[in-house]
Amino acid sequence: MILAKKSRKSLAHIVALTNQKGGVAKTTTCVNLAASLSAARRKVLVVDLDAQANATMSSGIEPNDVSPNTYDVLVGKKDAQQAIIRQTKALYDLLPSSRDVTAAEVFLQSKKDKHFYLKRALQPISHLYDYIFIDCPPALNIMTVNAMTAADGLIVPVQCEYLALRGLADLRNTVDGIRNTVNPKLEIEGLVRTMFDKRNRLAREVSNQLLEVFSSKVYNVIIPRNVRLAEAPSYGLPIIIYDAKSSGSKTYLALAGEFIRRHEGK
Among the residue ranges 19-23, 131-135, 193-197, 254-258, the one predicted with the least confidence is: 19-23
CA 205 to chain centre: 26
Q: How far apart are CA 160 and CA 167, in angstroms?
A: 11
> Using N-to-C axis directions, what is the helix angle for 164-181 and 201-214, rounded to 10°?
30
Query: Which letter does DSSP use for residue 86 in this model?
Result: P
Rounded average pLDDT over 78-100: 95
Using the predicted structure, report yes or no on whether residue 96 has a pLDDT greater than 80.
yes
How sure is the predictor about 7, in pLDDT bands with cuts at 50, 70 and 90? low
The sign of the torsion formed by the CA atoms of 236, 240, 241, 245 equals positive
For the chain, the farthest-separated pair of C-alpha atoms sits apart, in whole angstroms, at: 51
Confirm if 104 and 78 have CB atoms less than 8 A apart: no
Rounded average pLDDT over 199-206: 89
How far are the Cα atoms of 35, 108, 238, 260 from residue 263, in angstroms, in the given order? Answer: 17, 33, 22, 5
Query: What integer pLDDT is reported at residue 147 of this predicted model?
Result: 98
Write out the H or E segment, with its range, that includes residue 45: strand 44-48
Using the predicted structure, report yes or no on whether residue 174 has a pLDDT greater than 60.
yes
Q: How far apart are CA 255 and CA 32, in angstroms?
A: 10
Q: How far apart are CA 114 and CA 108, in angstroms?
A: 5
Question: When comparing pLDDT for 85 and 20, which is higher?
Answer: 85
Confirm if 3 and 260 have CB atoms less than 8 A apart: yes
Using the predicted structure, report yes or no on whether residue 114 has a pLDDT greater than 60.
yes
Question: When comparing pLDDT for 163 and 59, which is higher?
Answer: 59
Query: What integer pLDDT is reported at residue 167 of this predicted model?
Result: 82
Query: What integer pLDDT is reported at residue 3 of this predicted model?
Result: 60
Using the predicted structure, report yes or no on whether residue 1 has a pLDDT greater than 70.
no
CATH number for the domain whose boundaries are 13-264: 3.40.50.300
